[in-house]
């Protein structure tokens, strides 16, 4: 009996040992997280690497800190390591000896003289031990990325050091870009170069330069000199400038892709060469923004001869395989006014303007192919006649168009949701993923009580077709507006007789609908900032219409298969320049562009923690100063240029907690409209798209309510004391300063709410505020104040209101 029991026990032990071994060697083990929560909390890397494991020791930098290349070396690698040492010396104030004690080993297996391309192997391994640092990569780009990661890991105590660490890293997507528009407002070469430096820091690898617009032509053409001489007002990149930019970018593993927007957005071409236009005219550079009339003539053979020569010249200048032709927002008004174009369409069986533009695009694609280039364009270029392997489609109108293009076999790049000029928060951007479409519809769909209209919006002379769906009755009516441009829901629609009123919150601001319904018709206007857009439509469906259209299933989006996923190359952050100039552009790009960089580099499962992203992003925000960016300085420069020195600090206290409103919301401050010559020197230009002081304050408030954290409490109270005096400190300045006057309500609301919050905290017995005098504020007054504080003034918002609201409303509960 004893022997049997012993055998059973031994058998169970053996089974247990086998099970442990099986799990240990991975046969049954689930995939572990590539970075543990503990390790992640101790680093501030952006983007996060694919795999990371921290050790217990540290590598300490000594004055003798040399490097070597045990395998391959090149001029690009040499330049990269010199930049690393330069930055390291800048932060440490140590002049390192690079020849002695060679503890930095850079193991590159293959070097090349070629320009960066989409096929590059960017992977690397970084191993930091107490006695040495090693970066191993198959190609040069991996060494460059490894050096950037290494620099981000540097910390300081008594000496500068790096933790023992092992990183294996490679990008999720091969295309991680930043588009800079220098057409609408001039962006100098110096600004471009420092943004390239910052791009390299976060492993972005495509710079997309938008070079031509209604407002300016920004590149030198030796074949057609009147393009830049007459189309730029003297602000353009010479071909030597472009060569310098390309070489600077190449040294940092960044490709440079030019965009020459055709056939629309082309006024600047016509100043010197009006024969390219669809309508004969004496053209001048446009000073307003929008979708304007001038457009190239697709029926004129000379246009193609001209573009053949021009693109041939640019193909020699730009080495990348892609040339971007724009192709977006083509206004067909001038096409419709030209009898020769209408005859051309008839003779070539082109049924509408979409077919006409497709004809033009196909001609341009063949021209570019002749010059050894692939065509890239915004998603309007997508057409069945274009070759699948010869173009890349950049999706900007909606996420669904990206997936549709990928399913059709086209190479695609996502920019929807990555428009930095829309001024969305880092949190919003962080939720945008090329391979995921977030649920767009949030309202309850009442399939038993609905109406639908097919609608047409008229923007200038362009038509945008779509649908309007309305659900429910009475006070609970909600709905959906859907078009190629966007799909958004709305709630709390107001019906008063034949009038239908509602607001839609889009990615670029609030859109107000003021419509009338009459029998089967619907008509009225959309108000977007200072723009009024006509809408008209006909009833096409409803729950009571047996012969009408069926209600679509808005929530259903078919998943991509693996082949379609491979067609998504990556994405680009976009910085359009209607409301930025050479001084302010850095502050609108950074640090939010780094969020896009991380979404496109890091594994998807590592880009879900928004709080951790903000922790690392705020560290990066400061660190980017070392790369020469002016994002943390330009606001202060604007303030100092507008007000006396003695109140600068108080004004900065206010501006630091403001943030710029969304794109079209901000545009409402310009009367009658925004021009290219409008000065960009108001408080809204000094503010940032996101206030990290406000973010920290609101988070401290949440932490205090959850844990009664003493450090958070002290921080909250310190801010409240500072803010409570802001209005009194600036009261006199508001009377004489036009610059400050438009944000006076923010200062008043900030001070009043801070005073009330201090009173509420004093009731909790916080010693530091016990002596605060109670204010005569009843709850109705406070609610009114909070509502007013949430409004925009001077194109800016006061984002600390949410934290102040919680302190006031919940402290006495």
Q: Are 80 and 143 in contact (CB under 8 A)?
A: yes
Cα dihedral across residues 802, 805, 811, 812: positive or negative: negative
Please give the helix or strand (H or E) that residue 111 lies within, else none. Answer: none
DSSP character string of 169-181: E--S-SEEEEEEE
First vs last C-alpha separation in the chain = 68
Here the tokens at position 53 are 């494991």
Burial class of residue 205, CB neighbours in 10 A (0-12, 13-18, 19+): buried
How far is the C-alpha of 94 from the C-alpha of 160, rounded, in Å? 10
What's the rounded Cα separation, in Å, for the pair 421 and 411? 25
Using CA atoms, how far apart are residues 522 and 506, in angstroms rounded to an integer?
A: 22
Q: Do 545 and 551 meet the contact criterion of CB atoms below 8 Å apart?
A: no
In this structure, the strands spanning 499-506 and 509-518 are antiparallel
Asked whether the beta carbons of 144 and 173 are under 8 A apart, the reply is no
CA dist., res. 616 & res. 768, Å (int): 31
Query: What pairing do the DSSP bridges indicate for beta strands 391-395 and 411-414?
Result: parallel
Instruction: Give the separation between CA 411 and CA 486, rounded to whole angstroms.
Output: 22
For residue 92, with 0-12 CB atoms within 10 Å meaning exposed, 13-18 middle and 19 or more buried, which class applies? middle
Q: How far are the Cα atoms of 29, 258, 414, 434, 683 from residue 402, in angstroms, in the given order?
A: 36, 21, 6, 8, 37
Q: CA-CA-CA-CA torsion for 545, 548, 550, 554, nearest 10 degrees?
A: -100
Would residue 517 be called left, alpha or beta, if left means φ above 0 and alpha means ψ between -120 and 50 degrees? beta
| Beta strand pairing call for 494-496 and 499-506 | antiparallel
CA distance 580 to 144: 31
Please report, to the nearest 10 degrees, the dihedral formed by the alpha carbons of residues 262, 268, 273, 279 taken in order. Answer: 70
- Please give the Cα distance from 689 to 529 (Å, whole number): 18
Catalytic-role residue among 329, 380, 572, 690: 329
- State phi, psi for 760 to the nearest 5 degrees: -65, -40
Residue 777, C-beta contacts closer than 8 angstroms, at least 6 positions apart? 756, 785
Query: Residue 516's beta-bridge partner residues?
Result: 499, 523
Q: Is-catalytic flag, 82?
A: no
The sheet with strand 499-506 has its strands ordered as 487-490, 478-483, 462-471, 450-459, 531-542, 521-528, 509-518, 499-506, 494-496
CA distances 398 to 405, 415, 610, Å, are 12, 9, 23
| CA pair distance 81, 105, nearest whole angstrom | 11
At residue 371's C-alpha, the angle toward residues 367 and 373, to 5°, is 90
For residues 650 and 763, the answer to whether their CB atoms sit within 8 Å is no
* Residues in Cβ contact with 527 at an 8 Å cutoff, skipping those fewer than 6 apart: 511, 512, 514, 533
What separation in angstroms does the CA of 779 have from each of 228, 279, 280, 756? 62, 63, 66, 11
Residue 688 DSSP label = B
CA distance 488 to 246: 40
Residues assigned a catalytic role: 329
């Amino acid at each position: 009996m004893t022997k049997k029991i012993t055998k059973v026990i031994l058998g169970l032990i053996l089974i247990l040992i086998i099970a442990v071994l099986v799990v240990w060697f991975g046969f049954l083990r689930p995939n572990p997280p590539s970075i543990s929560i503990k390790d992640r909390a101790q680093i501030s890397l952006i983007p996060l690497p694919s795999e990371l494991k921290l050790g217990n020791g540290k590598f300490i930098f000594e004055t003798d800190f040399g490097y070597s290349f045990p395998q391959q070396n090149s001029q690009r690698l040499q330049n990269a390591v010199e930049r690393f040492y330069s930055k390291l010396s800048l932060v440490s104030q140590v002049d390192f000896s690079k020849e002695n004690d060679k503890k930095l080993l850079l193991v590159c297996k293959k070097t090349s003289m070629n320009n960066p391309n989409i096929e590059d192997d960017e992977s690397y391994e970084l191993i930091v031990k107490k006695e040495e640092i090693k970066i191993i990569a198959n190609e040069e780009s991996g060494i460059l990325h490894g050096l950037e990661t290494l620099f981000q890991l540097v910390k300081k105590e008594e000496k500068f050091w790096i933790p023992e660490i092992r990183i294996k890293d490679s990008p999720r997507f091969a295309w991680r870009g930043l588009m800079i528009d220098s057409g609408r407002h001039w962006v100098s070469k110096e600004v471009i170069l420092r943004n390239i430096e910052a791009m390299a820091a976060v492993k972005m690898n495509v710079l997309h330069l938008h070079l031509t617009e209604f407002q300016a032509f920004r590149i030198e053409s030796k074949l057609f000199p009147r393009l830049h001489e007459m189309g730029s007002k003297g602000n353009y990149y010479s071909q030597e400038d472009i060569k310098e930019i390309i070489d600077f970018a190449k040294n940092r593993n960044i490709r440079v892709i030019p965009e020459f927007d055709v056939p629309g957005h082309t006024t600047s071409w016509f100043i010197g060469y009006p024969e390219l236009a669809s309508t004969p005219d004496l053209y001048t550079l446009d000073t307003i923004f929008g979708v304007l009339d001038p457009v190239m003539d697709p029926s004129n053979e000379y246009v193609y001869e001209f573009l053949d020569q021009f693109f041939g010249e640019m193909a020699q200048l730009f080495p990348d395989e892609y040339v971007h032709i724009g192709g977006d927002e083509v206004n067909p008004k001038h096409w419709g006014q030209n009898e020769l174009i209408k005859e051309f369409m008839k003779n070539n069986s082109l049924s509408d303007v979409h077919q006409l533009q497709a004809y033009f695009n196909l001609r341009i694609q063949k021209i570019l192919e002749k010059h050894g280039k692939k065509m890239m364009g915004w998603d309007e270029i997508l057409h069945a006649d274009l070759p699948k392997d010869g173009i890349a489609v950049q999706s900007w109108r909606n996420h669904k168009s990206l997936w549709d293009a990928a399913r059709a076999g086209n190479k695609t790049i996502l920019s929807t949701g990555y428009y930095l000029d829309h001024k969305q928060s880092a949190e919003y951007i962080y939720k945008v993923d090329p391979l995921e479409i977030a649920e767009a519809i949030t309202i309850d769909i009442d399939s038993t009580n609905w109406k639908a209209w097919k609608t047409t919006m008229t923007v200038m002379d362009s038509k945008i077709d779509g649908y309007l769906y309305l659900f429910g009755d009475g006070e609970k009516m909600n709905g959906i507006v859907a078009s190629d441009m966007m799909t958004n829901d709305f709630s709390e629609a107001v019906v008063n007789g034949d009038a239908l009123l509602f607001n839609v919150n889009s990615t670029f601001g609030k859109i107000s609908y003021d419509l009338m319904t009459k029998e089967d018709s619907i008509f009225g206007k959309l108000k977007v900032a200072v723009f009024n857009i006509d809408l008209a439509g006909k009833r096409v469906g409803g729950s009571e219409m047996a012969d009408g259209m069926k209600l679509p299933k808005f929530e259903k989006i078919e998943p991509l298969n693996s082949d379609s996923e491979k067609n998504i190359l990556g994405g680009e952050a976009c910085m359009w320049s209607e409301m930025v100039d050479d001084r302010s552009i850095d502050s609108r790009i950074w640090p939010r562009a780094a969020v896009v960089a991380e979404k496109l580099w890091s594994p998807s499962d590592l880009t879900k923690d928004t709080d951790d992203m903000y922790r690392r992003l705020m560290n990066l925000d400061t660190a980017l100063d070392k790369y020469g960016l002016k994002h943390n300085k330009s606001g202060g420069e604007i303030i100092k240029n507008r007000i006396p020195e003695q109140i600068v600090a108080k004004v900065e206290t206010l501006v630091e907690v403001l943030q710029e409103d969304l794109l079209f919301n901000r545009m409402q401050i310009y009367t009658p409209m925004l021009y290219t010559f409008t000065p960009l020197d108001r408080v809204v230009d000094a503010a940032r798209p996101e206030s990290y002081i406000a973010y920290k304050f609101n988070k401290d408030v949440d932490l205090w309510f959850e844990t009664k954290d003493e450090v958070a409490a002290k921080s909250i109270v310190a801010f409240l004391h500072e803010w409570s005096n802001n209005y009194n400190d600036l009261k006199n300045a508001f009377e004489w300063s036009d610059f400050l006057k438009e944000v006076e309500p923010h200062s008043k609301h900030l001070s009043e709410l801070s005073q009330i919050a201090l009173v509420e905290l004093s009731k909790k017995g916080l010693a530091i505020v016990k002596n605060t005098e109670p204010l005569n504020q009843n709850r109705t007054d406070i609610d009114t104040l909070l509502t007013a504080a949430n409004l925009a003034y001077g194109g800016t918002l006061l984002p600390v209101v949410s934290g102040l609201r919680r302190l006031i409303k919940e402290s006495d509960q």
